[in-house]
Chain A
């Protein structure tokens, strides 16, 4: 039996009936067609599916859609506002913090959390904050630089 849920995603409220076993990441990708959030490992290890739920990063492959009832969610699609890139997006672009782009949305969401906790993080704090995210293309250094770029940019805003 399906259950009705209402979630606010990137500022828009969605009410849908969901299969109780449906994962939040499948709800986002398949039901709402928000495919920027990726699935990398299915087991909460790689972080490609990282989103913000009520202001905290979570791995959306670890939650059921039903658990998100009433929640405020932000995905990669919600980072830019009024056609203007979020500093974290600018950072990944400017500092070449990406190659194939598959891990990028999750990395950026983790980066948003780091800067939320500490607008001026040290390199060590950035690395600690990205422990739950894997990238197989880069050597991670440009990802760290991307978040440093975003921190500087946010401070200047």
Chain B
């Protein structure tokens, strides 16, 4: 499995989301806190990718 597919798997996305929620717990602000906050955004490019890669609907197809 390629790296680009790994991060599209549900457990990886869930782990990223949980990582993004962690900064509510520890102390001071820092770069890693900003980085982890944006881990929460991982679902958005995945949704965009999956919706855009699917072939267009063929007219009259079931």
Decide whether A and B are members of one complex. no
Residues of chain B touching chain A, judged by Cβ–Cβ distance below 8 Å, are none
